[in-house]
Amino acid sequence: MLGWDDAKLLIEGQPQLKYKEYNFGVCSAIAFRVDKPELPTYDIRVRRALNMAVDKQTIRDTYFSGRAEFLCGQLAPIPEFSDMFVPITEYPESSRQLYEYNPDKAKQLLAEAGYPNGFKTEVVCLSSSVDLLSIVKDYWSKVGVDLNLDVKETGVYVSIYGGKTHKDMLMWSITGTIPFRFLPMRPKNLYNVSLIDDPYINEKVDEIDANQFEEAKRRQLYKELNLYFIDQCWYLDLPAANVFLFWWPWVKGYNGEHMVGYSNFEDFQTFIWLDKDLKEEMTGRR
């Protein structure tokens, strides 16, 4: 899988290649710790302000060259989730505001929360996230928030993530094509990076567990839970980049599949075959 910058070079330089562009449903997100009252992000007004202070649409249009899904998060806009996914135009006003760039409102909320001059904070991240986080850092600086990028190598990062020892924030990825990732949003779960302990979440997850064999009911619960999750803004979720898969024309029976089934990265190879005559015609070798 390639991002747009690399894919563009192949598209222009190897026009005979076939390719497929699609969204994998994975977006980068800054997870705010919400378990300590002394942290600014314990206050939902601060979390809302941090979201409103970032122009996510411009990031999509510039950093991702428009090749990204603006809204992904916990539920990606894919056909399989059409009954659960809610477009942003149908969000409640309080949730819709989180995706609208409004630095003046962000400053107002920070002042109401007791931070009229902003505050200093830090985010634990990998070096691969530095470019994107630098953009966020610049946006936040305009409302008085000074963000330090605490860059770690992979082993240290995984240790911090697993032990939940980050001081303020942690940069990680949300997979919007696996809705059962909602289930770990309970205390002491590995994926609960924000250390959420919310009675509504806990109740809904228990209800989902109790309806494992009631598909329609469970999907309705996921939908309700997603809307609540978004409104609580425990994360700052950023656009999800499109990915590109390439293959030569002599690879037959292939249409850009990445996996067949859940996390099955190998089995698609059993369904493809090579047209060696075409390969020889195009390259001079079989």
Distance CA 127, CA 103 (A): 27
How does residue 275 score in pLDDT terms, banded at 50, 70 and 90? very high
- With a cut of 70, say whether residue 261 has pLDDT above it: no
pLDDT score recorded for residue 175:
75
Q: Which residues does 60 contact at the CB level (< 8 Å), separation at least 6?
A: 66, 68, 70, 239
pLDDT score recorded for residue 183:
58
- Mean per-residue pLDDT over the chain, rounded: 89
pLDDT score recorded for residue 181:
57
Average pLDDT over residues 239-250: 90
Domains of the chain by residue range:
22-242
Distance CA 209, CA 284 (A): 58
Sequence-ordered alpha helix ranges (H) in the chain:
4-13, 44-52, 56-62, 93-96, 103-112, 130-141, 154-163, 199-210, 215-232, 276-283
Q: What CATH architecture is 22-242?
A: Roll (3.10)
> pLDDT tens digits for 189-216?
888 899 999 999 889 888 988 988 998 9
Distance CA 145, CA 120 (A): 6
How does residue 42 score in pLDDT terms, banded at 50, 70 and 90? very high
How does residue 154 score in pLDDT terms, banded at 50, 70 and 90? very high
Q: What pTM was estimated for this model as a whole?
A: 0.88
Q: Which residue has the higher pLDDT, 122 or 175?
A: 122
Residue-by-residue DSSP string for 164-222:
T--SSEEEEEEETT-GGGGTT-STT-TT-TT----HHHHHHHHHHHHTTT-HHHHHHHH
